[in-house]
Amino acid sequence: MNNQFVTFPPKAVSRELYLIGFRLDPTAEGPQFYTLIGVDDGSECPITRGNRILFFRKPDDALKALAASDNGFRDVRPLPTELELLCDVGEALYVANTEKADNDGLLFEVIAVFDDLLRAVKLNVPDEYAAVLGALAGRLRDTPEFAGFLEENGLSREKLEDALMWCVGAVSVKSSWIG
């Protein structure tokens, strides 16, 4: 017989939302668009509608986007009003192409956010790109220096840029917009 006990009172489910901004154009001031990332017992997932990531152009549209979402976060409150993270794709591409280290963690954050976005829409990164992104994320978890790591492992900056651009394109194609 199984001796698992039901805890009483039941453990509270930890659910919250974070406002994430995205900047593609490095000359733009601040985020160009947003999404909400829901956290459900430690698992992170963007809001979606019809298996597409739901984006919006102004932070004021967050409630409208949340109401239009269909992946279980509609009832989560409070609605965030402040930006939790700027996913600065433009700056991350600059770092990937020119810097020796990801001192501000921008490149690592972009890889992590796109990993969550791609998982939410059930897209698999092509093996050649997954290899470079996975290896680099592992490296950046330990140290911000990555130029030597790329060179030592025969990974080019061009392949890294291609991988990041593939992620941006894939997420764009699998998106839905409010406002």
The domain ranges of the chain are 15-174
Q: What is the DSSP string of 17-51?
A: EEEEEEE-STTSSS-SEEEEEEEETTEEEE-EETT
C-alpha 79/C-alpha 171 separation (Å) is: 24
Whether the pTM exceeds 0.75: the reply is yes
Per-residue pLDDT reduced to its tens digit, 4-19: 666 666 556 678 999 9
C-alpha 39/C-alpha 70 separation (Å) is: 15
Per-residue pLDDT reduced to its tens digit, 112-167: 999 999 999 999 999 999 999 999 999 999 999 999 999 999 999 999 999 999 99
C-alpha 132/C-alpha 128 separation (Å) is: 7
C-alpha 96/C-alpha 81 separation (Å) is: 31
